[in-house]
A and B are shown apart, each in its own frame.
Chain A
Amino acid sequence: MTALLEPGRYFADGNFAITEGALVGGCRFFAGYPITPSSEVLERMSERLPKLGGHFIEMEDEIGSMAAIIGASNAGAKSMTATSGPGFSLMQENIGLGIITETPTVVLDEMRAGPSTGIPTRVGQGDVMQTRYGSHGDLAPITYAPNSVQESFDITIEAFNSAEKYRQPVIIASDQVVGHLSEVLEVKPLEEYDVVQRMMRKHDDEKGVFSYTEDYVPMFVAGTGFRGNVDSLTHDERGYPSNEASVEKEMLEHLLGKVKKNEEKIVKYEEFLVEDAEVTVVAYGITSRAAKQAVRIARKKGLKVGLFRPITLWPFPQRRIEEIAGHTREFIVPEINYGQYSHPIREYSRSETREIHFPPGAIPDYGVILKEIEGAFK
Chain B
Amino acid sequence: MNLGIRMYGMGGQGIITLAKLVGEATLEDGKFVIMTEEYSPYITGGWSKADLVISDETIDYPLPEELNYLVTLSQEGFDTTVKELAPESTILTEKSLVTVPQDMKLRSIEIGGIEISKSLKNPKGANIVLMGAFSGLTKIFSAESGRRAITKRFPKYVDANIACFERGYEEGVKYGR
Contact = CB atoms under 8 A, between A and B. Distances in A.
Interface of A: 9, 11, 36, 120-122, 177, 180-184, 286, 289-290, 292-293, 296, 363, 366
Contacts of B39: 121
Given A181-B36, A183-B35, A290 B27 contact: no
B24 to A, nearest CB: 4
Interface residues on B, range: 20 to 34
B34 A363 contact: no
B62 A11 contact: no
Contacts of A366: 61
A184 B41 contact: no
B61 A182 contact: no
B35 A182 contact: yes
B84 interface: no
B29 to A, nearest CB: 11
B60 A363 contact: no
Nearest to A180: B37
B35 A181 contact: yes
B61 A180 contact: no
15 contacts: A11-B24, A121-B38, A121-B39, A121-B40, A121-B41, A180-B36, A181-B34, A181-B62, A182-B19, A182-B20, A184-B32, A292-B61, A293-B60, A363-B36, A366-B61
Contacts of A363: 36, 62-63
Contacts of A121: 38-41
B59 interface: yes
A281 B93 CA distance: 42
Contacts of B37: 180-182
Given A289-B60, A289-B62, A363-B62, A11 B41 contact: no
A334 B141 CA distance: 36
A-B CB proximity, top 3 nearest: A11-B24, A182-B35, A293-B61
Contacts of B36: 177, 180-181, 363
Give the residue among A177, A183, A286, A289 with the most B Cβ atoms within 10 A. A183
A321 to B, nearest CB: 23
A206 to B, nearest CB: 56
A289 B20 contact: no
Given A9-B27, A363-B36, A286 B41 contact: no
Nearest to A296: B60
A120 B62 CA distance: 20
A245 B175 CA distance: 80
Given A181-B36, A183-B62, 7 more contacts: A36-B41, A121-B38, A182-B19, A289-B62, A293-B60, A363-B36, A363-B63
A184 B60 contact: no
Interface string B9-50: 000000000011001100100001111111111000000000
Contacts of B40: 121
A363 B38 CA distance: 11
Contacts of B35: 181-183
Nearest to A147: B60
Contact of A289 (B32, B41, B61): B61
A177 B33 contact: no
B38 A182 contact: no
Contacts of A182: 19-20, 23, 34-35, 37
Give the residue among B19, B23, B59, B60 with the most A Cβ atoms within 10 A. B60
A293 B32 CA distance: 16
Contacts of A290: 61
Contacts of A289: 60-62
Contacts of A36: 41
Interface in B147-168: none
Contacts of A296: 60
B60 A11 contact: no
B34 A183 contact: yes
A156 to B, nearest CB: 20
A121 B34 CA distance: 19
A369 B49 CA distance: 26
A293 B60 CA distance: 7
B86 to A, nearest CB: 17
A181 B107 CA distance: 29
A11 B20 CA distance: 8
A180 B23 CA distance: 14
B153 to A, nearest CB: 10
Given A177-B36, A182-B34, A292 B27 contact: no
